[in-house]
Amino acid sequence: MAADRSTDIAQTFRDINRTRRDIYKKYQDFSRELKKSSSLDDKVQHLILLSNAIISQCDMCIALHVQGAATSGATKDEIIDAAWLAVAMGGSPKMMYLRYVYDEIAAIFDEDE
């Protein structure tokens, strides 16, 4: 994960835990239950969440879900295809968020090559 977003994400979670741990814990429980009871595997879930992150214009979410998709076995092409589905739904403003996808792909996959 790109270092600056990784640091931002970690700090955000620390701040949330410090200020409203009770609510965040309930949110985490809800998210875990969705994941556990889903008929979709981890890879597909992360690819869908990546598309939603782009639609929502959340660069930190994009970073998390590119990483999650890759960890779950998604290829570069699958990640890029999921990202382009968001562009198809959201138009050219969402295309600008592909920058975060490409940054994460470079950090994850290009170091393996």
pLDDT for 23: 93
Domain containing 14: what range?
Answer: 3-110
Q: Give 54-112 pLDDT, tens digit per residue.
A: 999 999 999 999 999 999 999 999 999 999 999 999 999 999 999 999 999 999 997 65
**CATH code of the domain in which 77 resides:** 1.20.1290.10
- Output b/e per residue, 19-51; b: 16+ Cβ within 10 A: eeeeeeeeeeeeeeeeeeeeeeeebbbbbebbb
Q: Give 4-47 pLDDT, tens digit per residue.
A: 777 888 898 899 989 999 999 999 999 999 999 999 999 999 99
Q: Which residues contact 39 (CB under 8 A, 6 or more apart)?
A: none
pLDDT for 3: 62
Overall number of domains in the chain: 1
